[in-house]
Amino acid sequence: MAISLTLLLSLAAVETGSRATPASADASRRTLAVVRVPPAFFGLHDGSMAAYDRLDVGSVRLWDVGVQWSQVETSPGVYDWRRLDTLVSAAQAHGTEVTLVLAMTPSFDGPAANLPPTDLADYAAYVRAVMSRYRDFDGSRGIAAYQVWNEGNVATFWQGTPAELATMTRVVDRVRDQVDPGATVLAPSFAVRYVGERRWIRRYESRTVGGTPVWKNYDASGFSLYPKARYGDRPGGPEDAMRLLAKVRGVLDRAGVPHGKPVWATEINYGLKSGPPGQLTADPISQRRQVANVLRTYLLGAARGLARLFWYRYDWNTISPAQGGGTLGNTLLTTPGQWDDVTRAGRALTTAENWLHGRLVDAGARRPCARDRRGTFTCVVRYAGGTRTIYWNPRRTVTVVVRHVAARQAERGRATRISRVRVGFRPVAVVTR
């Protein structure tokens, strides 16, 4: 990646892959005055590997790309590494950090992929095999982080109990300690939009395994921060995702999880509906709103202390006509099925990286990207060349008077001199020197 950044106050242990400790002052659970954003913060889901040629990709999460446990271990002790090797090699070639999800039970070890394995020793053996292979792959680290499971509180992916999932978390932690101490263990991801889902998270986080709290067996939490498709007469957006993040942090607090645990947004997009097949197509939104979703998501995610943020996804295909056609999310980085055609929203990811190059500071409001009484958000980034101030208002258009202005930057990067700026749902950046 062209930019070289580090996250101030995030766990150094997570950045290096070593064990996290509460004393390490992470950025994910606190109100911060200053944030520096690492390249790995800017994450994607991309099984096509096409993003590497068109965007700077700091990290990639391997899920829905043909490398589930059941797809790698084809029979007991027999592994087909070809697809995973290809994905890891592509990430290595581009300096991209890899997170692998260790989910879905093979048919030889259970009645269904979304149930726990019949024998936990089989799961441990798989985890041991994959960690042994990718701790040093062709001379360098292949996989940096391992996530225990995907969306453990969604029946499609898990129908076991919180206690069983906590036990599997301990299995991954113990194997990591034995085989690859430099790897990061990421807790199972969880959906967070509904009250019942957040209750499930608390039941998991409150578990002990062998007398040890489950949070001691992972280095970071992971959540799917999909807001509802609509809130009354408006579509769900980045600010709604951040409100969900605040709610789930409250769940972690009440379960006794230390503030020193980083939080990763393992999936995020907008417009996703709940319901039966055939009613799942996201309602389309304009390109301008898609651009705004990308910019506001990465800005707010950094400001709210997320250690990683994985966009779902770069290479989305149109869903089948039987399920309504279209796509499940409304903010697309490429044209579905034409992954060399990067959309304006896709290019906005690069803009977000450029805008966050430097120190994201609090601008006197005690937290970065604070909102004023009119609902206008202000992000201040200080960098070697000056100060970049980014404004937006998701609900209305307002006029912001700025002092000592050099230029206004739109999301495409063009700059014009200006002393006041009209601000709406699309973020604009004002540069002073």
CATH code of the domain containing 298: 3.20.20.80
Instruction: Look at residue 13 in the predicted model and tell me its pLDDT.
Output: 26
Which residue type, as a one-letter code, is found at position 357? H
**212 in any annotated domain:** yes
Instruction: Look at residue 366 in the predicted model and tell me its pLDDT.
Output: 72
Do 192 and 292 sit in the same domain of this protein? yes
Q: Which of 325, 231, 313, 301 is nearest to 269 (CA)?
A: 313
Instruction: Look at residue 391 in the predicted model and tell me its pLDDT.
Output: 95
**140 in any annotated domain:** yes
Instruction: Look at residue 25 in the predicted model and tell me its pLDDT.
Output: 36
**198 in any annotated domain:** yes
Instruction: Look at residue 184 in the predicted model and tell me its pLDDT.
Output: 98
Domain boundary, last residue among 338, 361, 384: 361
| Residue numbers of the domain that contains 211 | 12-361
Which residue type, as a one-letter code, is found at position 209? V
Q: pTM of the prediction?
A: 0.90
Do 276 and 421 sit in the same domain of this protein? no
State residue 305 phi and psi, 5-degree precision.
Answer: 85, 15
Q: How far apart are CA 242 and CA 245, in angstroms?
A: 5
Instruction: Look at residue 17 in the predicted model and tell me its pLDDT.
Output: 34
**5 in any annotated domain:** no
Cross-strand bridge partners of residue 224: 191, 267
Do 349 and 396 sit in the same domain of this protein? no
Do 34 and 132 sit in the same domain of this protein? yes
Cross-strand bridge partners of residue 379: 390
Which parts of the chain register pLDDT below 70? 1-33, 277-278, 363-365, 403-418, 433
Residues ≥6 apart with Cβ < 8 Å to 23: 260
CA dihedral 162, 167, 171, 173 (to 10 degrees): 70
Do 155 and 251 sit in the same domain of this protein? yes
Instruction: Look at residue 412 in the predicted model and tell me its pLDDT.
Output: 59
Do 327 and 409 sit in the same domain of this protein? no
Instruction: Look at residue 408 in the predicted model and tell me its pLDDT.
Output: 62
Instruction: Look at residue 324 in the predicted model and tell me its pLDDT.
Output: 78
Instruction: Look at residue 6 in the predicted model and tell me its pLDDT.
Output: 25
Do 294 and 377 sit in the same domain of this protein? no
Do 187 and 129 sit in the same domain of this protein? yes
Tally the domains of the chain: 2
**pLDDT tens-place string over residues 111-134:** 999 999 999 999 999 999 999 999
Do 330 and 403 sit in the same domain of this protein? no
Instruction: Look at residue 144 in the predicted model and tell me its pLDDT.
Output: 98
Instruction: Look at residue 279 in the predicted model and tell me its pLDDT.
Output: 75
Which residue type, as a one-letter code, is found at position 269? N
